[in-house]
Amino acid sequence: MAGQLTTIGFDADDTLWQNERFFRLTQARFAELLADFAPPEALMDRLLEAERRNVGHYGFGIKGFVLSMIETAIEVTDERVPAAVIRDLLAAGQEMLRHPIELMPEAREAILALAGTYRILLITKGDLLDQERKLAQSGLGELFDGVEIVSDKTAPRYGAIFARHGDGAERAMMVGNSLKSDVIPAIEAGAWGVFVPHDLTWELEHADPPRAHARFAELQHLGELPDLIARLG
């Protein structure tokens, strides 16, 4: 079956490079700035609620995250949040948009090992400009046969991407750290779904692993991917 595999899609954030850790650092700063108004745990709960409410309007990424922090700050202060706090939240967001790329271990090696044999795609969601910046800084750009920056990752979206860039989802694989966005919808589309967990994963990306599915696999790190693909053959 894997003899038919022609196309491999990679998620970007927390699969090829670090991402969530920068959100966590900013959340800690957010909690610090609003410590006079609410305890950290309550703040995190309110922020997550706001993100859940807003993701359908703002999409995924730093800009939406900053707007949700500001909205939460207004709520928890009963509309008395000091302008200096808003300014600091905006500054924290801008700092996130400038953070340097930190590649995950084995990311480059895994892609290099597969790039000659398979069509390699980058499939990511988030702010367009930010994802383009990170891809450029990663130094991985030339290794990809196609790049798709999408508003959300759904089964029909994967079906369309693998049809456009490859030979359809049946002959494709998606590799990523999010069960909800990378693995499950890719499997639903008919592709392989390979889960590479990251120790920090955003609440809204959690889902149960489809361990019983024949096209599901889980790896400790990307260095194991070439062997997995060889075994499938």
Distance CA 176, CA 183 (A): 7
CB atoms within 10 A of CB 203: 9
Task: Write out the binding residues for Mg ion, residues 127-186 only, by CB under 5 A.
Answer: 177-178
Distance CA 206, CA 62 (A): 19
> Which residues, 6 to 45, sit near Mg ion by CB under 5 A?
11, 13-14
Q: State the minimum distance, in angstroms, from the CB of residue 202 to Mg ion.
A: 8
Please spell the DSSP secondary structure of 161-178, one letter per residue: HHHHHSS-GGGEEEEES-
Q: State the number of binding residues for Mg ion (CB under 5 A).
A: 5
What's the closest the beta carbon of residue 107 comes to Mg ion, in angstroms?
12
Angle between helix 40-58 and 20-33 (nearest 10): 120
Least spacing, CB of residue 12 vs Mg ion, in Å: 7
Residue 51 engages Mg ion in binding (rule: CB under 5 A)? no
**Cβ-based nearer residue to Mg ion, 26 or 177:** 177
CB of 13 to Mg ion, least distance (A): 4
CB count within 10 Å of CB 90 equals: 13
In this structure, are residues 183 and 217 in contact, taking their beta carbons and an 8 Å threshold? no
Nearer CB in complex with Mg ion: 11/130: 11
Q: Which residues bind Mg ion (CB under 5 A)?
A: 11, 13-14, 177-178
